[in-house]
Structure 1
Amino acid sequence: MLRQFPYDTPVRFTVVIPAFNEEFYLADCLSSLAAQDFPGPVEVIVVDNNSTDDTAAIARAAGATVVFEPDRGVCHARQRGTESARGEIVVSADADTIYHAGWLSKIESWFADNPLGVAVGGPCYFHDGPAWGMRLQRMLFGAVNLIVRLGGPVVYVTATNFAFRRDAFSGYDTRLAQGGDELDLLRRLRKKGLVAFDPSNSIDTSARRMEEGVVYNFAVSFFYYYILGYALNRIFRRPVLGMAPAFRRPKGHRK
């Protein structure tokens, strides 16, 4: 059960979790957030993105605040959650992810050490799924960290593990689909100030999307929906290619 506190209590962190039909994963995610060792009040908002399952009921039973967003898509959901947030720092998270007990404390340490910093991200690694998917994640975030160590900017963050000051936030562009909650927000936050990458603050996420195989994930999910889709969406300022199919059930529960 998430810790409860009076509504008028000052809040340092608001964790925003977009959720569309996440009944198979959400309870474990919220349990990991309930086990955080950060001593202060933490607001957890689950955005019910027009789910048709027990997502909202599971969130309420765990003590999370549930808000409803009828327009499907991560940018719509994260925008709704961030608009509802009371915390000084908004932490973007995902329902199919497990957060280690020191996760928020590490984020707090970074902001305490960098009072002018606006955002910090960290890696996410698969805790299940095919070996090639796990290696790919290690390579991706290894490359992000290498660029930073060589003096370059943070070129990528995952919305599964990204914290930013609420007063530096100018809103998600809800005309975008894939990449809008990561690449577009990162681009705009870098203009506001320091954005960092902490390779030590990793989290564990589900590899359910990897079950479609390496060809599908590279050709369809990554290049078509994410890279090409984000580029076209930026040009035309609307979801030209739409959203990638949602894989909401664990292996063995597809029907």
Structure 2
Amino acid sequence: MTPADPVRLTVVVPAFDEEAYLPATLASLARQQVPGGFEVVVVDNASTDGTAEVATRHGARVVREEAPGVCAARQRGTEEARGAIVVSTDADTVHPDGWLARLAARFDDEDVVAVAGPCRYLDPPWWARVFPVGWFTLIGAVHALTGRVLYVTATNVAFRRDGFPGYDTRLTQGGDEVDLLRRLRRVGRVVWDGGNPVLTSSRRMDQGLLHTLVVSYGYHYALNLALNRLAPDRVMHVAPAVRAQQAAGSRRLRRRWRVVAAVLVTAGLLLSRRRRGAGRRR
């Protein structure tokens, strides 16, 4: 497909140092078939690795965005889009066959301005396997009862480019999800398709449940979103990137702590047993 060819959809993939995950993402997109055609735009968000080269080798159109943050990258990708429908996903996400065609079909309804779907995690810890099912089931139930979408994940949402209100580029985490949903609702109808999930990396959860809830979601997501929306200028900055090397390091650290915990528990049980035995002999 040449830059002059018309397309119906543009898939925007923001990427910062994603050379390890990007090949699987782009390979899954290459298998998609959509009436009207589609293009893939990878937004290189000032990467320092081979992200741009990997994207080019896989046939994606690459644009570079120097301003840090996923909202700035997604905004740039949307501005570069040639398709009438813009699809947002991530560089560590794998898309099942038929995913894009199913998204596109929902826009046959002219009243629909956006379509969102769920994600599942690849090789997650047990709690990250359970949480998305419950969370996205709740979103689907509320949508079925009220027609209202509570939340969109930026790795599986599409919207019409005409009339798109734009991302708030002051925002970082959450700006491409919670704030995007708020802006899209002002334009028109947002619908939910719970039967069209994607599979995304669980690397952000490799530091454990407590760290994910308190640091990742509580601090970097919720507090970041709230403060940056209230302030005239960005107060909190982009969360530290978690890439393949950091994720592997976190997994090794968690395994070591499990060993330490097991040793301490075993030692505690043995000590308790010895004390009970000594007490009986007295």
Report the TM-score when normalising by structure 2.
0.85
| Contact 2:147-2:191 within 8 A present in 1 as well | no
User: Which structure has the bigger radius of gyration?
Assistant: 2
Match of 1:182 among 173, 177, 182: 177
Q: Which residue of 1 aligns with 2:83?
A: 87
Deviation at 1:67, TM superposition (A): 0.2
CA distance in 2, matches of 1:162, 1:49: 20
Alignment identity in percent? 52
Q: How many aligned residue pairs are there?
A: 250
| Contact 1:176-1:238 within 8 A present in 2 as well | no
- Specify whether residues 239 and 134 from structure 1 end up closer, same or farther in structure 2 by C-alpha distance, changes over 3 A only: farther
Secondary structure of 1:181's aligned partner? coil
CA distance in 2, matches of 1:50, 1:88: 27
Q: Which residue of 2 aligns with 1:133?
A: 128
- Specify whether residues 237 and 199 from structure 1 end up closer, same or farther in structure 2 by C-alpha distance, changes over 3 A only: farther
CA distance in 1, matches of 2:240, 2:138: 27
Q: Which residue of 2 aligns with 1:51?
A: 47
Q: Which residue of 2 aligns with 1:120?
A: 115
Larger RCO (CA within 8 A; separation ≥ 6): 1
Q: Comparing both structures, which one devotes a greater share of its residues to helix? A: 2
CA distance in 2, matches of 1:150, 1:226: 28
Deviation at 1:168, TM superposition (A): 2.4
Deviations 1:151-194 (A, max 9, x none): 15111000000000000212111011111111111101111111
Deviation at 1:198, TM superposition (A): 0.3
CA distance in 2, matches of 1:104, 1:159: 15
CA distance in 1, matches of 2:226, 2:147: 22
1:77 aligns with 2:73: yes
Match of 2:61 among 61, 65, 74: 65
Deviation at 1:127, TM superposition (A): 1.8
CA distance in 1, matches of 2:71, 2:174: 9
CA distance in 2, matches of 1:106, 1:168: 22
Name the amino acid aligned to 2:65: E
Runs of 4+ in 1 over 6 A off after TM superposition: none
Q: Structure 1: where are the runs of 5+ without partners?
A: none
Q: Structure 2: where are the runs of 5+ without partners?
A: 251-282
Deviations 1:118-163 (A, max 9, x none): 0000000002120101111112211111111121511100000000
CA distance in 1, matches of 2:128, 2:136: 13
Report the TM-score when normalising by structure 1.
0.94
CA distance in 1, matches of 2:232, 2:114: 25
Deviation at 1:20, TM superposition (A): 0.2
Secondary structure of 1:167's aligned partner? coil
CA distance in 2, matches of 1:141, 1:159: 14
Deviation at 1:39, TM superposition (A): 4.1
